[in-house]
Amino acid sequence: MGHRWVSQMVPACLLVAALAGCGVDAGNSSGVSQREILQYVSEVEPFRLAVNQLLDRADPILSAYQANRLTPAKAQEELGQLERSFGKYAVDIAAIAPQNRTLQSIHRPYAQTYVLEDTYLSALVAALPGRDFADLPNTQNAQRRAIIQWRIDLEVLARQMGTKLPGDLEAAGRGEIAPSPGGS
């Protein structure tokens, strides 16, 4: 009986060893490998960082508009260019297609935040000439919630695997989400 137990355990031990060698934590129920999470983050980060820089340009435009240093037409033109650039990033984020189901379920709501932001920016651009901001979509809380959940989910996976994520990722979801029509 002892010999049969050993012969049954050898394949199981080999499987655990193989998984550990591939970067999959045998205790990791998500089935995400270290390589997969790092690959996913490396795909998202360039767009996430570029979007942060892009949106930082919105407040100066809106402040100048509010202070009448920019005409409504010029503010609309500048913010419209910003919105079109953002729209390209939204497509880039939507095109990221992790093969792992866990990463897919984490990415889908995150990608949706780009749709919400693009919707908001488009409405903001349209509202500039008439200074009528009453009907701007209120997407900030939904975006913040999804971004924070995305960040937490990635941090939990990374912790399970003993992997470090980029330090700036912990800032995701904090601060201003949607540029205010009143400027900074």
Per residue in 70-112, pLDDT (tens digit) is: 999 999 999 999 999 999 999 999 999 999 999 999 999 999 9
- pLDDT tens per residue, range 47-64: 999 998 999 999 999 999
25 and 35 inside one domain:
no
Residue range 120-143: mean pLDDT, rounded: 93
128 and 150 inside one domain:
yes
63 and 97 inside one domain:
yes
40 and 50 inside one domain:
yes
91 domain residue, yes or no: yes
Q: State the residue range of the domain holding 48.
A: 31-171
47 and 119 inside one domain:
yes
Answer yes or no: are the C-beta atoms of 86 and 122 closer than 8 Å: no
65 domain residue, yes or no: yes
Count Cβ atoms within 10 A of the Cβ of residue 3 and give its class: 0-12 exposed, 13-18 middle, 19 or more buried.
Answer: exposed
Which alpha helices (H) appear in the chain, and where do they start and end? 2-21, 34-56, 58-66, 72-95, 101-127, 140-161
6 and 97 inside one domain:
no
> pLDDT grade, residue 23 (50/70/90)?
very low
Residue 54 token pair? 């892009």
Distances (CA, A) of 139 to 115, 136, 147, 177: 10, 9, 12, 9
167 domain residue, yes or no: yes
116 and 135 inside one domain:
yes
